[in-house]
Chain A
Amino acid sequence: MFKIIAGYAFRNVLRTRLRSFFTLFSVTLIIMLYTVLTSTGDSFTNQISTALDTQDVDVAVQAKYAATPISSVIDAQTVKAIESMSEVDSVYTLLIGRKRIEGKATVVILGVSNFSAFAQRLGFSIVDGRGFCDADHEVVIGEKISKVYGLKVGDDLELNGGKKYLIVGVYSSWLNPLNSGVVSSLPTIQSLVGKTDKASLLFLKLKDSTQSSAVVKNINKHFPEMRAMEIQQLPDYFGVLKSVFYFSKIVSVLTLFIAMAVLINTFIMAISERTKEIGILSAIGWPRFMVIAIFLVEALLLSVTGGVLGFLSSYPVMALLQSNFSSVSVYLPETPSMAVFFNVLLMSFVIGVLSTIFPAIYGTNIKIAKAVRHE
């Protein structure tokens, strides 16, 4: 039975070749867009989350009313007060800013209090030259900046304002966005962004990790301008990560609706054109579910094929984007993840079923005598 129904559905898809082609083409494009956008979003979110998980710190502190880490400002007095808390073993200070490389793109700049600890925790490895010393004007740059702008060890890096910094090393990080960054000592970056004695984020390593919750409460109570959180909560707190997360979800839902609209349109037309056929099948004794099954199989053929083609076509599209648009400040993964593939399969299935079931139920609800007479 399934063989005949599948053959029937497949030949129906071929019967209206042009319409099937454009439906398939639309679903493929929509799914490709979904794959590219969600892969980018997921990859970015995952890398940030993983980076934070591997930092081996317990508590993060940011200025309470800062929307992003870049806009967060923590003064030296607060840093010292937190450092002196009895539960705190050590504090890593991070200052984040953005500056334009003269005549080129804007990049993320990071000032760190302890480069070796920072490098170890964020998986930095020096691929050329050395790490910077605390001397002023020494920086290390990410390998992406090095490749894109042809900068190498020994060159000067001119950040806006005309100030020159000596490149002493090129680093590589598995956290891809950081490969488009410039890192230097905390005082150097403080001076560069005009935030002397200031920090953006503090990462606290506690003597006893189980005290995280108590320390967070303590900081939030005694430093009302600060917002402390356990390290696991940091991704949620970062507005940008939330935005990426919601963007990804919104894209999924929109994709679902757009693909459904395309398929619903196709199947309303198909069912309307084949009203007589529905009547004939019912007249010769086909139960309603079998008539609906024909349309469902047709829709699934189009939606799942479109899903798979959309996923596969995202490979060259992502490679193209990667090679043309992945400049210093834009992050794109090289390939979509398998998790996205399974999402695509599931979504294609759901799209196929939801977009056909209602037109098919409606179409088969007609009186058989009327359907048989339908022209």
Chain B
Amino acid sequence: MSNLISIRNVSKVYEKGLVKALEKVNLTLEAGKIYVLMGASGCGKSTLLNLIGSLDTPTSGDVLYEGRRLNEVGTLSTFRRNFIGFVFQFHHLIPVLTLRENVESALLPNRDILAEERSERAISLLDDMGLLHRADSYANEISGGERQRGAIARALINRPKLLLADEPTGNVDSKTARLILKKVQDYIKASEGTMLIATHDPNVAAMADVVIEMEDGKITSVIHNNQDRSISDEKVSN
């Protein structure tokens, strides 16, 4: 499999060097796999996610996207839109937009996609996520699990090569968490995309192809899981 992301000696410090969030991290993400980042709070998971997602820049080292540095990928916003999908711990849906508009909003800057196609894609994803009946609802009118599924639909509408999720099940009950993970896993399998999830949840880790453990800004282990990790429909209904 080809390398989607290569991280080379990446360090990130804050507060003029007083806080070392990441220290000489090296990591490779291959296309088509699900990665899980595990570690205690403050170990650097979110920082690594932000650097990979081009939301922040490393203090030293390089993040390569299919072999290209960030300054070689063209306009950052276009790159983010076409390459990366984000799911945050809190849904972060725009409160004044309906669920459908929220999902469509990620496609809005893409002038090649007409309004009709944009709407079709949004409706199709909402249907996949079991949210079609909520398409015209606002974020404050739906449950936490529905919001998070809406946020996932927004992240997937651009068909990104890499889906980054920061504690996507951190604020939902276990049943909803399994449902969300099942939806994401199905999508990643179908689209041959890559996913990197930062989490504390061992149930999330169980679905990963690769589990990366972090401690104090460093990667301490990378474990490849060769068993079948598919979440069955039966597990979801339980």
Contacts and interface: CB of A to CB of B under 8 A. Distances in A.
B97 A287 contact: no
- Most A Cβ at <10 Å: residue of B77, B82, B104: B77
B94 interface: yes
B105 interface: yes
Interface residues of A, number: 27
Contact of A368 (B56, B104, B105, B109): B56
Interface in B84-120: 85-86, 88, 92, 94-97, 101, 104-106, 108-109, 111, 115
Contacts of A276: 92
Nearest to B92: A280
Contacts of B105: 4, 281, 284, 286
B50 interface: yes
A3 to B, nearest CB: 8
A281 B53 CA distance: 14
A284 B56 contact: no
B56 A367 contact: yes
Interface string A142-154: 0000000000000
- Most A Cβ at <10 Å: residue of B55, B85, B158: B55
Contact of A284 (B75, B86, B101): B86
Given A15-B95, A276-B92, A285 B80 contact: yes
A1 interface: yes
B155 A284 contact: yes
A284 B95 contact: no
Interface of A: 1, 3-5, 7-8, 11-12, 14-15, 276-277, 279-288, 290, 367-369, 372
Interface of B: 47, 50, 53, 55-56, 75, 77-78, 80-82, 85-86, 88, 92, 94-97, 101, 104-106, 108-109, 111, 115, 154-155, 158
Given A1-B109, A290-B108, 8 more contacts: A1-B108, A3-B115, A4-B101, A7-B97, A7-B101, A280-B94, A285-B109, A286-B77
